Structure 1
C-alpha cells in the first residue's frame, strides 16, 4: 500500500483530545503492505487513531493513549458516544482504560486488559493509586468501618481492582473497608477457573456485561480465566480462535473445556454439563450440554463449532 496525504487539509476542530495528540507532518507518506485490522481491538476512526497503529494505517491525527482507571462501581463500554448506543463490554472499578480522545462527556479508547475499543462516559474515568488486590467474591461490600455491622458505603463486583492495606481482618481502601475474604492480592490466582464461573451462577444475563450485576457468555469465560491467571480476549469468536488447544469432535469433555456454538461459548463443569451465561434462561446456569445442542439443532446443522482445552 502507498498513501500520500496533506494533514492540513484533513484536520477538523474537536472539543478535546487526549494528551500528546499530534497531526501527521505535511507530505507524510505511508508505504508498505496493508493488513486488515479488527476495529474491536484496534483503536482507529476516520479522524484519529492510536499512535501505536502509526506504522499500520494512515490517519489525519494520532494520539498517544493516556492511562486512566474506572473510578465508578462499573460502567458499560458502548459502540458510540450515547447512552442509547449498543453495549459492547464493561469496566468494573479499578480496571484500566487507555484514553485516546475525549469529546464532550464521552471518552474513546481501549480497555487496558484486552484492548477492546469503545466509548465510556468521561466522568467514569480518573486516576487512582496502583491496585494491590482484586475482588474475588461475586460482590464485595465496602463498610464504613472495619466492622460487618457498619453502614455499607458501596458494593464492588468480582474483578474490581483496589489499592488496599490489611487492618484487623479487613482491607482498608480509599472509602472504607472490605472483608479480607472478599479480595486477594493481584498475584494470587484461583486454582480452578470453572469454580470461579460457578460462583456466578444466577447472575443475570447482560449483553456486554463482565460483572456481578450482569454478564454475557464470553464475559463469563474471560472473567473466570482472568481470576485463574489466564488472559483471554473479549468475544467468543476471538476465544475460539486464540485460546487453548483445539480438540477433536469425539474427545471426551473435561472440566474446564470451552465449548463453542454459533455466537456463543460455555465452559464444561464435568463430562456432561455446561455452565454458561445465556439469553435463553437470561442467567448464568448449569445445564446438560445435550440440552443446549438440542435447542440449537433446529437452527444450525452443527450446533458445536469448536471445543478447546486450556492448560492453566
Structure 2
C-alpha cells in the first residue's frame, strides 16, 4: 500500500469508520475523532495485530519501552499507534502501562534479561531486544537501574547520546542465523524490513517499518541503471516486498524466507529469485544512507 492525499495509509494513520485520530480530521471520514491517550509498552514484546484477536495476522511488534497513543480500548485489546514508526494496530491491553518518560538509553546487545533486582541469580522478568528504549536513572553495581524499578545488565545498554553504533552493516551481521519471522521485530525473530529498521535505530536513525515505506523515505535515492551503477557497502536495495543491505558491491545480508534466517547471499541470487516470484519485477529502488565507503 502507499500513502496519498486522498487515502492516508491505514498502517500509518489511525482511522476506522467509527473512530479516527484528531489529527486526521478533514482528511478522513469517521463518526468520531479523538486525541487518544499516551501509554507505554511494559512487556518484552507486544504483538501488534490487524484485528483485536490473538488469531489475527501479525503486522509488527512493539518493543519494551516504546511510547504509543491509545485511541480505543475494549475487551482486553487496545487500538494504538506506535510513536517510534507510526504503525497502527491492536495490542493486548496487558502489554500497556502508563506514560513513559523520555528514554536515555537503548538495549545494545542483541537481547538482554530484565531483572527485578541487580542480581544475575534473580529470576528474569523478561528478555528485551536490541534497540528497546530504556529510561536509566542510576546504576547498582553491574546493572542499570530503570525508572520502573527494574534492572538491565549495564554493559548491554548504550546511551542515546554517546552509544550509537554508526556502522549499521556491522550490526546487521550480528543477526546472522536469527530466524526469519513475518512481522517479527526483535532479535528473537524478524523480517527483512525490521532488520534494517533495528540496525538503523542503533545508528541513531529512526526509519519507518515496512519495505515499501522505507523504499520511499530512507536516506537518499540512488540514480541507478541495471548493470551500470556500482553499489557500495551499506546501500539498501528494495524489491517488491523485500529489501537487503549491501555488504559490498556483490553480497548482501538480509532476513529472508528462503533460508528462513538472516543470511548472506549474492545480490544476483536474491534478484533472480525475486524476479521469478514476482512475475518479472526485480530491483525497484536503491537508497543510500552512508556517504562514504
TM-score computed with the length of structure 1 as normaliser: 0.84
Aligned to 2:236, which of 227, 244, 258? 258
1:158 counterpart = 2:130: yes
Higher mean C-alpha displacement, 239-248 vs 96-105: 239-248
Structure 2 residue matching 1:134: 3-state secondary structure: strand
1:186 counterpart = 2:160: yes
1:235 counterpart = 2:206: no
Give the structure 1 partner of residue 80 of structure 2: 109
Give the structure 2 partner of residue 225 of structure 1: 200
Structure 2 residue matching 1:237: 3-state secondary structure: helix
Alpha-carbon deviation of 1:310?
Answer: 1.2
Contact 1:159 1:227 in 2 (8 A): yes
1:297, 1:268 → 2: CA distance? Answer: 18
Alpha-carbon deviation of 1:301?
Answer: 2.6
1:196 counterpart = 2:171: yes
Contact 2:42 2:95 in 1 (8 A): yes
Aligned to 1:268, which of 233, 241, 246? 246
Alpha-carbon deviation of 1:262?
Answer: 1.4
Aligned to 1:304, which of 283, 287, 291? 283
Contact 1:266 1:274 in 2 (8 A): yes
Contact 2:43 2:126 in 1 (8 A): no
Deviations 1:141-188 (CA, angstroms, capped at 9, x unpaired): 234554545554432111222222223232123454322221112223
Contact 2:160 2:204 in 1 (8 A): no
Structure 1 residue matching 2:171: 3-state secondary structure: helix
- Cα 1:144–1:43 change in 2 (3 A) is closer
2:204, 2:79 → 1: CA distance? Answer: 28
Contact 2:44 2:127 in 1 (8 A): yes
- CA RMSD, 1 decimal: 1.9
Deviations 1:79-133 (CA, angstroms, capped at 9, x unpaired): 0001111111100111111100112111002111111110001111111652322
Give the structure 2 partner of residue 211 of structure 1: 186
Which structure 1 segments of 5+ residues have no match?
A: 1-33
Which structure 2 segments of 5+ residues have no match?
A: none
Size of the alignment, in residue pairs? Answer: 279
Alignment of 1:1-312 (within 5 A): 35-127=6-98, 129-130=100-101, 131-143=103-115, 145-148=117-120, 151-164=123-136, 165-173=138-146, 174=148, 176-188=150-162, 189-247=164-222, 248-249=224-225, 250-299=228-277, 300-311=279-290
- Cα 1:129–1:264 change in 2 (3 A) is closer
Alpha-carbon deviation of 1:252?
Answer: 1.2
1:118, 1:129 → 2: CA distance? Answer: 19
TM-score computed with the length of structure 2 as normaliser: 0.89
2:205, 2:176 → 1: CA distance? Answer: 21
Contact 1:96 1:112 in 2 (8 A): yes
1:143, 1:214 → 2: CA distance? Answer: 22
2:258, 2:75 → 1: CA distance? Answer: 38
Deviations 1:243-300 (CA, angstroms, capped at 9, x unpaired): 2222213221111100111110011122211111111111111122122123234334
- Cα 1:181–1:128 change in 2 (3 A) is farther
